[in-house]
Structure 1
């Protein structure tokens, strides 16, 4: 292989790998963002912007990250760039207004709030829009989550949904005969049991769906969490073990956390944890991503009031360290309950002490660069309502999960709601050669808005693949170009795309630029009258072409076009010209030219005469000879 061709191949591979790497970075950034790991997402979004990859979209994401980091000084810089983008979603007018308010530029803030309202913007919730702080206002500029149906709710209380390996575990008072209604938290509840059902189950028979083993007792059991290896369960239960119900000095039985071990498919060996106490409640267990910390809610002495969120370190032998209060950024003088920690170690919890929409609202923590909790964020509607909203759970995808609520319109008392976040949408496909069907590497695919402004640009990989992230409910164009092909621009729209759709496929074919005889040495060869065999003169010219294709231009591809003069019947001439094309093709192949580099060999009969010798005028043999020919069209020559 010649050096220049080796270098060319290396360059193509480098460009393809670069494009693939950027696509991977995009997925990483969005994954971190969806899981509220905003500080880590910032670094990746900045890298993507520096590489000019999906710059408009990533600038919007970056601005949001800085806002959620409670940093309006930097957020306002990026929001200013965002609102200058063509066809920017109008909620960014509101976000920019809030960022300006965060840096006390009230005059400019009012201007952009008016633009938001003039564009038809409507705030999601009046209470939050008037009273919420900067971070919550920005987050709730646009609805973040949506609900889908859950089929395992009963007419009683159902909450604490926890998904694992295709199953959903939850606490329920679905047994018939239970008359006491669940009021709130752990007071005056009917007796709860732990149930498990397949995630996509259409129906559930509650008395047949109780979890196997010794988890369920005669009193309250659940909710729960399971260790990463799936062998240990931590669960809440009324202070009952060994057939003994224990009470405090006031005659009340508090909550405790117990653990169980999975033996075969049954949960056995119930053990009480050292952090429990008969005089106060400890409940609602949650594990961090590596299982090294157990989070829980407790009204133990020394807290900030009501119930607080605590954690305890889990030692190598399974024992627990001393409980630590998460501090007053999370905890208030009221109640914080139902902690949950996702796989990016972001804490979610419910509280009636932070500013919210109703009674208990669900909040997320936002951490700083040192991974310390810096602020909390109200998740807004529809996750929160004017009633109690609690027991938040997020799957590892960061896009789906469950909450529970006693809001109006449910099946029973407390109901489980499955939520989903709209996944990022991309347009992707494969660019191919229209003549060969082969993928076209190193083609530039540009995303244009409806006014033909360039928004993003990527390069196809070695398989001709591309992908570009786009907004929903918008019109675009894709412009594709490569030096060896004719440019093409096609429309693409994301309007009317379903909420669960993550990609739009747009495969694109490019027409090669055909350059006839760009290389002087590709001479035409000629045939004797009524013959299609390669004569001596023709073989000399063909050998030159073989040498060029195998040595001088090893990436060159050609088409073979053969012709006849006008003498003889048209069907006969068509057949004769095809035989001349085939004999030319066979000769080149016999000399070592790869068949894949001869894109086509075709006979045209007498359709393309080079002169006026069409049978209506007298012509010499030399004139007819000019029409008995094969020509070579160079399709690709890099």
Structure 2
């Protein structure tokens, strides 16, 4: 009897230690997740999910994969989440699940998940609008191939995006191909921090070409990306983490949000690097784009008043001074993501969105600008848009050529830069399809 009591006591003590160890691992995984250190939270949640398939563990593991763009693995856990906890589940998980289904080209299942997302909305018109958007996207698809696209040979296994022409160079954001021992890594996706780099335009399709830092005076130990230049080439706007005098700054939650900076070219060097006045440590301001007359700056932000995750804003520029930023409203913005604006010379606003109906994740959309009014955005079509992220679009309206970025299948790495030429107009009409083939009848 005494031996039995001792055995039970030992089992009890070990079970307590096991539970305590599991609780500690769960708390550690949650800390990584809350800090957006998703590459680290995945490792812990994968161990935990084998032993404890709680709603929190499955949700956070699915989201960790989703936010690091591993959508196929995210799909597995979103499916498990919906199968086991769908009764009181936040409807946004149906939205994310739909994006993962599009990533595997399961469009019927994706639309079913999206319909459930809209059925759970407080707005009764959401389902009706969703079904109209399905028809519009079908008509865009019927146009067929609208662009010739080419993956640039300068792409690497790492991220390259946000390409713009500056003089005789292509300027874009990239990371080191072989990071050094002491290079910092971004714990969101475990890549090193982004820098603005450049390469001569004549070399962009040479596999052995090397990109160099665009301007060492703009380089810091933080992210720098998405540059845009004034027509005279003397002013640059770009995105960088919140910083002062080259040192990263964080808010009360230890987050270094993104901000837009401006610099002037003086005697061949970029100087007077200043943070724009509407930046804040408490939200992100990113992806600057200038109107053709350079009197308006468009950008994306999650500042207070945003309709969704990120919205497109604009701010008027008066003799170098900036007015109060304004949200472009519900025609352009949704309750999801709108980012990477570009204003073309023919008064069109291009941007990327996963809130407007598309082929999957971020798609490029276009809206006509007429006397400060914006038309309902339309998906720019295939094959520029894909079932994964497509963004950082810009076009020369005279040549109909430009660049965009994508993490689609068949690329060289994470995000790649693509060159494109528009070959067919965006004409969206009900039941209009372009059919290619040979017509025959019974006699021929």
Q: TM-score interval w.r.t. the shorter chain?
A: 0.5 to 0.7
Conserved in 1, the CA contact under 8 Å of 2:312 and 2:327?
yes
- SS class of match (2:259): strand
1:169 aligns with 2:189: no
Question: In 2, Cα distance between the equivalents of 1:281 and 1:247?
Answer: 12
Question: In 2, Cα distance between the equivalents of 1:188 and 1:402?
Answer: 26
1:227 aligns with 2:239: no
Conserved in 2, the CA contact under 8 Å of 1:288 and 1:294?
yes
Question: In 2, Cα distance between the equivalents of 1:291 and 1:170?
Answer: 21
| Residue 154 (structure 1) shift | 1.6
Q: Which residue of 1 aligns with 2:302?
A: 299
1:281 aligns with 2:321: no
Q: Which residue of 2 aligns with 1:334?
A: 336
- SS class of match (1:314): strand
- Cα shift readout 1:479-526 (whole Å, capped 9, x = no counterpart): xxxxxxxxxxxxxxxxxxxxxxxxxxxxxxxxxxxxxxxxxxxxxxxx
Q: Residues 335 and 126 of structure 1: is their aligned pair in 2 closer, same or farther, counting only changes over 3 Å?
A: closer
1:212 aligns with 2:215: yes
Conserved in 2, the CA contact under 8 Å of 1:149 and 1:417?
yes
- Cα shift readout 1:143-193 (whole Å, capped 9, x = no counterpart): 11111241221221000011233321100013422685796xxx8763000
Conserved in 2, the CA contact under 8 Å of 1:213 and 1:266?
no
Question: In 2, Cα distance between the equivalents of 1:148 and 1:232?
Answer: 30
Q: Which residue of 2 aligns with 1:147?
A: 149
Q: Residues 136 and 266 of structure 1: is their aligned pair in 2 closer, same or farther, counting only changes over 3 Å?
A: farther
Question: In 2, Cα distance between the equivalents of 1:225 and 1:188?
Answer: 27
| Residue 380 (structure 1) shift | 1.9
| Residue 248 (structure 1) shift | 1.2
Q: Residues 181 and 328 of structure 1: is their aligned pair in 2 closer, same or farther, counting only changes over 3 Å?
A: same
- SS class of match (1:200): helix
Conserved in 2, the CA contact under 8 Å of 1:213 and 1:267?
no
| Residue 234 (structure 1) shift | 0.1
Question: In 2, Cα distance between the equivalents of 1:310 and 1:190?
Answer: 29
Please give the root-mean-square deviation of Cα atoms over the aligned residues, in Å: 2.9
Q: Residues 321 and 175 of structure 1: is their aligned pair in 2 closer, same or farther, counting only changes over 3 Å?
A: farther
Question: In 2, Cα distance between the equivalents of 1:365 and 1:136?
Answer: 15
Question: In 2, Cα distance between the equivalents of 1:413 and 1:126?
Answer: 23
2:318 alignment partner, one of 315, 319, 324? 315
- SS class of match (2:375): strand
Question: In 2, Cα distance between the equivalents of 1:259 and 1:188?
Answer: 28
TM-score calculated relative to the size of structure 1? 0.44
Unaligned runs of 5+ in 2: 1-104, 112-129, 426-433, 438-444
Q: Which residue of 1 aligns with 2:379?
A: 378
Conserved in 2, the CA contact under 8 Å of 1:125 and 1:381?
no
Question: In 2, Cα distance between the equivalents of 1:265 and 1:203?
Answer: 29
| Residue 397 (structure 1) shift | 2.0
- SS class of match (1:214): helix
- SS class of match (1:356): coil
Q: Residues 200 and 136 of structure 1: is their aligned pair in 2 closer, same or farther, counting only changes over 3 Å?
A: farther
| Residue 361 (structure 1) shift | 1.1
Q: Which residue of 1 aligns with 2:96?
A: none
| Residue 136 (structure 1) shift | 4.1
- SS class of match (1:252): coil
- Cα shift readout 1:299-318 (whole Å, capped 9, x = no counterpart): 000110211000111111x1
Alignment map for 1:43-192 (pairs within 5 Å): 132-133=133-134, 135-140=136-141, 141-177=143-179, 190-192=192-194
1:352 aligns with 2:370: no
Question: In 2, Cα distance between the equivalents of 1:305 and 1:410?
Answer: 30
Conserved in 2, the CA contact under 8 Å of 1:349 and 1:392?
yes
Q: Which residue of 2 aligns with 1:417?
A: 418
TM-score calculated relative to the size of structure 2? 0.62
Question: In 1, Cα distance between the equivalents of 2:236 and 2:208?
Answer: 23
Q: Residues 279 and 189 of structure 1: is their aligned pair in 2 closer, same or farther, counting only changes over 3 Å?
A: farther
- Cα shift readout 1:270-320 (whole Å, capped 9, x = no counterpart): 11110100110001100010100111100000110211000111111x121
| Residue 233 (structure 1) shift | 0.2
| Residue 265 (structure 1) shift | 3.2
How many equivalent residue pairs? 299
- SS class of match (2:346): coil
Conserved in 2, the CA contact under 8 Å of 1:157 and 1:182?
no
Q: Which residue of 2 aligns with 1:263?
A: 266
Question: In 1, Cα distance between the equivalents of 2:156 and 2:186?
Answer: 13
Unaligned runs of 5+ in 1: 1-123, 425-470, 475-638
Q: Which residue of 2 aligns with 1:405?
A: 406
| Residue 134 (structure 1) shift | 5.5
Alignment map for 1:567-582 (pairs within 5 Å): none
Q: Residues 337 and 408 of structure 1: is their aligned pair in 2 closer, same or farther, counting only changes over 3 Å?
A: same
| Residue 200 (structure 1) shift | 2.5
Q: Which residue of 2 aligns with 1:509?
A: none
| Residue 244 (structure 1) shift | 2.4
Question: In 1, Cα distance between the equivalents of 2:338 and 2:157?
Answer: 26
